[in-house]
Amino acid sequence: MTTNRHGVFFTVDGRQPGRSEGLSVGEAGRLLRNDYGVTDALSLDGGGSTTLAIFAERQRSSASNCGR
């Protein structure tokens, strides 16, 4: 949640050499706080199958899921 009570949903591709660097939980927390104004957060570790769906429409899935 941000200070004005907006929700933020955030996914990160995992560490894949030559493709993505990923983020540690601390790095993600700092990014959300500093760039998006998030004051309260919850981390759900989805691993390689992380996918964000909004209204049943896939918005983002991890690189390891491409082509499945």
pLDDT at 11 over 60: yes
Q: Report pLDDT for 68.
A: 45
Domain residue limits at 56: 1-68
Q: Which residue has the higher pLDDT, 13 or 32?
A: 32
Question: What pLDDT shows up at residue 39?
Answer: 94
Query: Does residue 58 surpass a pLDDT of 70?
Result: no
Average pLDDT over residues 12-27: 81
How far CA 15 is from CA of 2, 7, 12, 20, 63, in Å, comes to 27, 26, 9, 6, 10
CA distance linking residue 30 with residue 6, whole number of Å: 17
Instruction: Record the pTM.
Output: 0.66
CA–CA dist 15, 56 (Å, integer):
26
How many folded domains does the chain comprise? 1
